[in-house]
Structure 1
Amino acid sequence: MAELGVSGVGLGRADSGGGAGRAGADPLLPQEENGVDGRAIRVGTRRSQLARIQTDSVVTMLRELYPDLHFEIVAMSTTGDKILDTALSKIGEKSLFTKELENALERNEVDLVVHSLKDLPTSLPPDFTIGAVCKRENPLDAVVFHPKNCGKTLSLLPEKSVIGTSSLRRAAQLKKKFPHLEFRDIRGNLNTRLKKLDEKEDFSAIILAAAGLKRMGWENRIGQLLSPEDCLYAVGQGALAVEVRAKDQEILNMEGGCSVPVAVNTLLKDGQLYLTGAVYSLDGSDSLKETMQTGVSYPHQNEDGPNDDVQHVGITAKNVPGQAQEAAENLGVELASLLLSKGAKHILSVARQLNDAR
């Protein structure tokens, strides 16, 4: 449904690039025939305000491209939305924000689902595919400060200041970078977390995705953007993914992990894809970080080329040359293998055990 940017795959979920030189293909490119015969297209989404804003943006693009089609938005709550008194990493469910949506997709109650790409688990169910990844927003993490700390940075906060985050990845890295701070779990949607920050004295600051704040119109609340040197972002952060049934060619022909401290940074420049991956212990004291690169500049193949219909890690990307997808996927696999060979599995195993014991 959308033209994909080059995807760096591995260490979790396909990643469409970030930073200077990242892929910038126009989202949701139309095809000559959409093949949906004027039927209503039902679009699944979570109920939160941010999820609705994200889904509305995708549907707006689709309506502009296909004015003769009718789109209906179907909102529902997910496990992650319902369980707010437990840390995400302790719930014990990989598909915290996607399972109910995928169930509806499987039952043909919806035709496609809009996700935050970072919310998708490592692998998709066998009958589903990512048919589109829209042009990515800023993938970096952002710090939102309590009003009393306006104008400060994390390094300038007093000793023992409490920072709220629901992400082990963020906490693990920032504990190492800012050992004078304490990190505490905070749950709820963006509105809820900002209210907890502003109306109470429990937190000096909270860490959120810059992309979500921008989509909500709250960029002015960003007090500090965390560079990759401070905190590598989540795989897929800042990108929206459209999940569909893998065999639903009518929809495809419109062509247009929260629980482990794993992080990435990607850069696409001069036909080279650079991928940095890292794993951390819960307190950030033990970590592994490596960078690898590969060439991804390949011409588009003919319609009957050998790789036209190949899916790479659950993604259908007809507008990206198969060789480029394969190179990006192999880069992710090779980087993951390198980290594993240096002890990443042990670090993550210990992190999971400690997290379960907390």
Structure 2
Amino acid sequence: MTEKETIAIGTRKSALAIAQTVEVQAALEKLNSSKTFPLLRMSTTGDNIQGQPLSSIGTTALFTRELQTSLEKHECDLLVHSLKDVPTQVKPGFVIGAMMRREEPNDVIVMRPGEFKDLKDFGPGDVIGTSSVRRASQIRRLCPGVQVKDVRGNVNTRLAKLDAPDSPYTCLLLAAAGLQRLNLDHRITAKLPPSSMLHAVGQGSIAIECRANDKEVLEIIKPLDHLPTRLRCEAERSVMKILEGGCSVPIGVWTEYELGSENVGTLRLKALVSSLDGTEVAEAEAVAEVNGNVELAIELGRNVAMQLLAKGADKILDKVLRDRHATLEPAGTGEEKTIKGWEV
């Protein structure tokens, strides 16, 4: 029997990361019967720092750096990421060779089983659990008076914190795609439409990263690249790149790609930047015919980013970053910390 060629896949150890990687693994095995795709599981900085909000750590590549080091050392041949975790400035020598078909990018409300509360009824006395400053700032804008508490950990850990008898949380805000990939759809209480909350850049999409000079791997993963997803996500990432943001700043987006008559592809992009308390917001929207052209999608993102800057997005982000750098102050027993705009 001929020994199969091995193409190793690097991934984080979390249940969601493994679920996403197994999805990629299955697709690659189906297309490449002469190859085997074992998983190399790793922990990252973001996984190891659980005691504080991501926004207060003040660095990028929290969930990718260790994986990229492994790829650089040829310990694995490709990496599987949640695209929203991948910095817009891809490390030199690497490339995002494929963006898989996007799952639903919306955020959702998750309450304890059997409980329900309409979004318009949230207010003083309600405690919203989220580790995202983007979600926190938008929910404060939607529901004045709510209290936002940071909640870290993988999806099952967060759900356990919500369900605990002494839980302080009224609900959690999570990504629909993560729950769906873990077969936890039944925990979704309500989906938040774009009119209520704009999602994170790249949310719901799986990115496959490899070495830029590895022609064999690039050819292997090429069939998994979904053009409508890439067009939408490249436009979103273009906005973030110009605004110099990351997962720790409150930038929200929404994109739609429609293929109309005579195969004219139209891409619509909406984006916002919000202050931590939700009182200051810059919003912009634009539409362009991109017709499958990634560069035109990136240009649309630049257009929207420049509109945001003209409306004061840079001043809002400067204030967010200043607040983040002056956040950690001892409180209570010393085991807890107060974060400006947060409670841990």
After TM superposition, what 4+ stretches of structure 1 lie above 6 angstroms from structure 2?
Answer: none
Q: Is the Cα–Cα contact under 8 Å of residues 272 and 294 in structure 1 kept in the other structure?
A: yes
Deviation at 1:68, TM superposition (A): 1.1
Q: 1:118: which partner in 2?
A: 84
Q: 2:124: which partner in 1?
A: 159
Q: Is the Cα–Cα contact under 8 Å of residues 153 and 223 in structure 1 kept in the other structure?
A: no
Q: 1:284: which partner in 2?
A: 278
Q: Is the Cα–Cα contact under 8 Å of residues 8 and 39 in structure 2 kept in the other structure?
A: yes
Deviation at 1:152, TM superposition (A): 1.7
Q: 1:195: which partner in 2?
A: 160
Which amino acid is 1:334 matched to?
A: N
Using the alignment, how far apart are the partners of 2:159 and 2:124 within structure 1?
Answer: 22
Q: 2:304: which partner in 1?
A: 335
The secondary structure found in structure 1 opposite 2:163 is: helix
Across the aligned residues of Structure 1 and Structure 2, the Cα RMSD in angstroms comes to 1.3
Which amino acid is 2:318 matched to?
A: S
Deviation at 1:38, TM superposition (A): 4.9
Q: 1:275: which partner in 2?
A: 269
Q: Which moved more, 1:219-228 or 1:252-261?
A: 252-261
Counterparts of 1:1-358 in structure 2, within 5 Å, are: 38-147=4-113, 150-157=115-122, 159-199=124-164, 200-254=166-220, 255-256=222-223, 257-269=246-258, 270=260, 271-297=265-291, 324-358=293-327
Deviation at 1:340, TM superposition (A): 1.1
The secondary structure found in structure 2 opposite 1:253 is: helix
Using the alignment, how far apart are the partners of 2:312 and 2:120 within structure 1?
Answer: 30
Deviation at 1:158, TM superposition (A): 5.7
Unaligned stretches of 5+ in structure 2? 224-245, 328-344
User: How many residues were matched structurally?
Assistant: 296
TM-score, length of structure 2 as denominator length: 0.84
Deviation track 1:223-253 (CA, whole Å, cap 9, x = no partner) reads 0111111110001100000000111111011
Deviation at 1:67, TM superposition (A): 1.1
Using the alignment, how far apart are the partners of 1:159 and 1:339 within structure 2?
Answer: 31
Using the alignment, how far apart are the partners of 1:92 and 1:351 within structure 2?
Answer: 11
Which amino acid is 2:320 matched to?
A: A
Deviation track 1:311-358 (CA, whole Å, cap 9, x = no partner) reads xxxxxxxxxxxxx11100111111111211221110100011122222
TM-score, length of structure 1 as denominator length: 0.80
Point out which structure has higher relative CO (alpha carbons under 8 A, 6+ apart): 1
Using the alignment, how far apart are the partners of 1:209 and 1:217 within structure 2?
Answer: 13
Using the alignment, how far apart are the partners of 2:284 and 2:214 within structure 1?
Answer: 38
Q: Percent identity?
A: 44
Deviation track 1:63-87 (CA, whole Å, cap 9, x = no partner) reads 0111110111000000000000011
Using the alignment, how far apart are the partners of 2:272 and 2:157 within structure 1?
Answer: 30
Which amino acid is 1:135 matched to?
A: R
Q: Is the Cα–Cα contact under 8 Å of residues 5 and 34 in structure 2 kept in the other structure?
A: no
Using the alignment, how far apart are the partners of 1:78 and 1:154 within structure 2?
Answer: 35
Structure number with higher helix proportion: 2
Using the alignment, how far apart are the partners of 1:252 and 1:157 within structure 2?
Answer: 48
